[in-house]
Copies of this chain bind each other. A is one copy, B any other.
Amino acid sequence: MLAKELNLSVATVSKALRDSYEINVKTKEKVIELARKLNYIPNPYASSLRRKNSKTIAVVLPDVADSFFSLVVNGIHTVAAEKGYHALIYLTFEDFQKEAEILRDCQSGRVDGVLISVSETTTSLQHINQVIASDIPLVFFDRACEDCKVSQVITDDFDSCYAAAELLISKKCKKICFLAASSNISIFKKREEGFKKAMQDHKHRLSASSIQLCEGSPSESMAIIRRLLKSKNRPDAIIASTERLVTEVYRVAQENKIQIPKQLKVISFTNLPTADILSPSLTTITQPAYEMGRQAARLLFSRIEKPANRNIIEKMMLPSLIEQRASTA
């Protein structure tokens, strides 16, 4: 350490810099001043190595070019910054393989904990359970795995979708279609169930085409939506279970001159900042993304900081907000 020009030991300097109570005030001042003059910045990796913690967390998610996830990231970053932690963002691009590699890397000591929203192609849970087994705190946000014994922050997926369906039913829609995003993510399943339950409770028939699974590439889902909206048995309402589907519904409706909301009412889960200025403005189920990020980070830090908390499994459910706009008028 260069700050030994003061004829002090590295230990003293180290303590002075971290404002230890056992160092003379005068000495501290001298050290701090010289450190600034020399632009000395401690190496965090050396510190990590010694202290066996990294003061950084991993945030593993499918994609950041998504209004929901990007807001979550903001929330996480905010809490992390307050806590003096770094947040390492890992993008899976919905690829299970990549996700597994990332979680593997998370066990290297690089991070003290991980926040994750799983990819759509994630089938096995082994990579996640391995992290947990390594005693590295892990918390799910939004796309959680039910079968993992860890904490999670999700929204009221069932209820909000139930309410969305009821809203459409109250508008006299007869053929409501639910666009499912993935067959193996629990929150999407819950959304689907909320939809089904509302349909049943209101004695609406569920046909084979009431639920359309739109997995895969944008062009694949586009094709499915196109087929759906051009069929003679076209639905009169759509609930999109995720943002990436709703833009395509709008495009297909536009290209086929299907009028929203007159011929087709639309509701979507989304945090698009432009929902209110779309043509027509879109009725949304808006998740409290930023807050979810904050809460997930909080849960994680409480486990990182207090190992005793690691066994307690908290399932936090935040309410989404339905904002009615022209697409369901």
Contacts and interface: CB of A to CB of B under 8 A. Distances in A.
A266 to B, nearest CB: 11
A124 interface: no
B105 A41 contact: yes
A88 B44 CA distance: 14
Given A64-B70, A71-B65, A74-B65, A107 B41 contact: yes
Contacts of A41: 104-105, 107-109
A46 interface: yes
**In the complex, which range does the number of interface residues on chain A fall in?**
35 or more
A45 B49 contact: yes
Nearest first, the 7 closest Cβ-Cβ pairs linking A and B are: A279-B279, A65-B70, A45-B45, A250-B277, A41-B108, A43-B109, A89-B89
B67 A65 contact: yes
A45 B39 contact: no
B42 A45 contact: no
Nearest to A101: B81
A180 B274 CA distance: 21
A42 to B, nearest CB: 6
Contacts of A65: 67, 70-71, 73-74
A193 interface: no
A77 interface: yes
Contacts of A107: 39, 41
Interface in A250-288: 250-251, 254, 272-274, 276-281
